[in-house]
Amino acid sequence: MELLNFMYSNTLSVTTAPALLDVLMAADKFEVASCMRYCSRLLRNLPMTPESALLYLDLPSSVLMGEAVQPLTDAAKQYLASRYKDMTKFQEEVMALPLAGIEAILSSDDLQIASEDAVYDFVLKWARTQYPKLEDRREVLGSRLARFIRFPYMTCRKLKKVLTCNDFDHEVSSKLVLEALFFKAEAPHRQRSLAAEESATLNRRFIERAYKYRPVKVVEFELPRQQCVVYLDLKREECANLFPSGRVYSQAFHLGGQGFFLSAHCNMDQQSSFHCFGLFLGMQEKGSVSFAVDYEFAARSKPTEEFVSKYKGNYTFTGGKAVGYRNLFAIPWTSFMAEDSLYFINGILHLRAELTIRH
């Protein structure tokens, strides 16, 4: 009746989401596109809740594909992605979400999560809870969820575990891990062009999320000495967000079997007279091992845009300890962040740390 009423008067008397959805389904069935658009618009103007967003994503696929409904489902996905972007805050709620909700959250570039390894762990945990039967789980992971995990940004240690993980069909996991490793091996300009090609498509696996632990590039040497060179790039806005007392951590890297990480800080200088940019090197595992390391911090600087050494030192690490410089560039924060700063090249700060085990 509502649909007939609309066809004559171009208005509806119902205003609640469930009633509007019923009209939308009827309009889809009888192919009344103008009514579908009208319902979709009214629904978009209602306040969104997790329940209503999931209702919209749960519409039959024929309706979901409709051009008129697209803006509504996009808004629902956007709502869920921004509501749950810090998944750790809503762990129980997120674990209870249905598949469509999980897909909406995982498709976001703005997930506030430690690293892609943590995304992978979460997806496995969710799938094991929702799909206790192995065949069902393999089907859902392979056909629906794997495309939302950005394997190219996972650590190599974790990718090894993916290969032996029984929850994935072996053929699927091999293909995903191979693709990720090839991406890691590409030159940076190729990685950027792959990400650019990908950004127009649905799955954004070559696009980096806003991880809490920033990805690093690592070159390792075993001979003549155990050594690793670590490259960490930070965007200007990431640095700006550190003011007045923030810090950002790199993903872990390994030297001599021990995990290390870099952390960049906005802190006060030694005399507490002004803010400045600090860089520190920390050792992960708490343990009794002590480790003597020579280290050097460098940054690309204008005008040459080459790496210029900023500090050299040596330190004997024990688990959980860190060493570094409160004022890496020996300038106040305002000069470091200024438009004419020597250290931002096309909006990126390029840092390098070299670690060598002392014998």
Each residue's pLDDT tens digit, 120-141 = 999 999 999 999 999 999 999 9
For residue 179, is pLDDT > 80?
A: yes
The CATH 1.25.40 domain(s) of the chain lie at 87-204
For residue 319, is pLDDT > 90?
A: no
pLDDT of residue 203: 66
CA dihedral defined by 124, 126, 128, 133, rounded to 10 degrees?
-120
Partners of residue 313 on adjacent β-strands: 295
* Choice between 151 and 252, residue whose per-residue pLDDT is larger: 151
By the 10 Å C-beta count (0-12 exposed, 13-18 middle, 19+ buried), 51 is classed as exposed
Tokens of 351: 């840092």
> 157-175 as b/e, with b when 16 or more CB fall inside 10 Å?
ebbebbeeeebbbeeebee
pLDDT of residue 68: 87
Tokens of 357: 């085990």
- Give pTM, 2 decimals: 0.75
The CATH 2.60.210.10 domain(s) of the chain lie at 212-355
36 Cβ neighbours under 8 A, 6+ residues apart: 24, 27, 28, 66, 68, 69
The CATH class for the domain spanning 212-355 reads: mainly beta
The CATH topology of domain 87-204 is 1.25.40
* Alpha carbon distance 153, 173 (integer Å): 15
**For residue 286, what pLDDT band results from cuts at 50, 70 and 90?**
low
14 and 23 Cβ atoms separated by less than 8 Å: yes
* Alpha carbon distance 273, 296 (integer Å): 26
* Three-state SS at 20: helix
* Alpha carbon distance 77, 79 (integer Å): 5
What are the pLDDT digits (tens) for 13-60?
A: 999 999 999 999 999 999 899 999 999 999 999 999 999 999 999 988
Q: Which of 140, 177, 137 has its CA nearest to residue 160?
A: 177
Q: Which of 275, 312, 276 has its CA nearest to residue 294?
A: 312
Q: Which of 109, 134, 81, 122 has its CA nearest to residue 209?
A: 109
